[in-house]
Amino acid sequence: MARTAVISGGGTGIGRAIAARFADAGDDVVLVGRRGDVLADTAARFGPTTTYVAADLETVEGAERVAAHVAETTGSVDVVIANAGGNAALHAPADLDGLARVSWAWNANLQRNVLTAVHLVEGLKPLLNDHGRIVLFSSIAAYRGSGTGSYGASKAALHPYAIDLSAELGARGVTANVVAPGYIEDTEFFAGTMTEQRRATLAGQAHNKRPGAPADIAALTSWLASPEAGHVTAQIIQSNGGALAGR
Ligand SMILES: NC(=O)c1ccc[n+]([C@@H]2O[C@H](COP(=O)([O-])OP(=O)(O)OC[C@H]3O[C@@H](n4cnc5c(N)ncnc54)[C@H](OP(=O)(O)O)[C@@H]3O)[C@@H](O)[C@H]2O)c1
């Protein structure tokens, strides 16, 4: 039976690969992101069961528009993938320095990674069906830092949030989990800052000696969201080719 899946950040990178799997399965897919043109292009490729809402999930108003769209179209939601996020510190204004720059980055990353997820999930909670699935997006940076402090910390904040969601909703058969990827290429995440040398270093840290692909994360996420994964909840699941373990 077709399900309804809402995927934030579904217009690009990892979110787009996840959305493709739901669209291919014939599910109703709702893409969310700030750029309407990017979402429209992705939705057009996926076909008529994919719709989109251009919304900034750092705002309550943006999340309310997503919930209103779901209420008006499918009426309820089965799968919430809170994938939108990124390292806002990479985009800090050039004229900020010192403590002002640090403060900007922490505020921006908490907004970008925590509030985008919390607003989406809490806004959709009243529409979430029994046996629903919630997947939040963390990072290897939550375990080993990212060099900016604020990005990894903002991702780590989602771990206990998933556990609380699982405890709150578990009796209804709902699961809540976190996916924590390592380095994944073919996304907009690094905003043009990735060098060949850095790419080789990150790929070399993985035991399988390659970067991750959006399809790797999409396969894991779609399994977590599947009906058969009903006894896996309150977990933080890493996909990094072994990079965190080292050696
Ligand atoms: N790539 C990696 O190596 C890596 C590693 C670990 C974790 N991750 C995490 O994986 C997730 C997906 O990232 P990605 O690698 O696929 O990078 P990406 O291509 O930059 O995707 C991020 C998506 O989030 C959306 N987004 C960002 N801020 C938003 C906001 N305020 N409201 C609504 N949508 C917003 C973006 O769309 P708009 O710009 O149009 O809003 C974009 O589609 C992120 O949470 C990221 O932190 C990535």
Q: Which of 18, 80, 183, 184 to mutate to test the pocket of ligand 1 (most atoms within 8 A of CB)?
A: 184
- Say yes or no: CB of residue 83 within 6 Å of ligand 1: yes
Distance in angstroms (rounded) separating the CA atoms of residues 3 and 28: 6
What does pLDDT average to over the chain? 97
Burial environment of residue 125 by CB neighbours within 10 A (0 to 12, 13 to 18, 19 or more): middle
Tell me the CA–centroid distance for residue 10 and ligand 1, in Å: 9
pTM over 0.95: yes
CATH classification for the domain delimited by 4-239, as one of 3.40.50.720, 3.40.50.300, 3.40.50.2300, 3.30.1390.20: 3.40.50.720
pLDDT over 90 at 192, yes or no: no
Per-residue CA distances from 239 to 45, 138, 210 (Å): 27, 11, 12
Per-residue pLDDT band for 97 (boundaries 50, 70, 90) equals very high
The residue to which tokens 């790929």 are assigned? 203
pLDDT in tens, 141-182: 999 998 889 999 999 999 999 999 999 999 999 999 999 999
- The predicted model gives 47-66 an average pLDDT of 97
Per-residue CA distances from 200 to 50, 127, 152, 209, 243 (Å): 36, 44, 21, 9, 13
Provide the pLDDT for residue 193.
87
> Which residue has a Cα nearest atom 44 of ligand 1?
85
Tell me if residue 151 is catalytic.
yes
- The predicted model gives 50-74 an average pLDDT of 98
Provide the pLDDT for residue 180.
98
Tell me the CA–centroid distance for residue 213 and ligand 1, in Å: 14
pLDDT in tens, 2-41: 999 999 999 999 999 999 999 999 999 999 999 999 999 9
- Say yes or no: CB of residue 216 within 6 Å of ligand 1: no
Per-residue pLDDT band for 246 (boundaries 50, 70, 90) equals confident
Which of 119, 51, 133, 37 is CA-nearest to residue 85?
119
Provide the pLDDT for residue 114.
98
Marked catalytic residue, from 52, 143, 151, 183:
151
Per-residue pLDDT band for 231 (boundaries 50, 70, 90) equals very high
- Say yes or no: CB of residue 179 within 6 Å of ligand 1: no
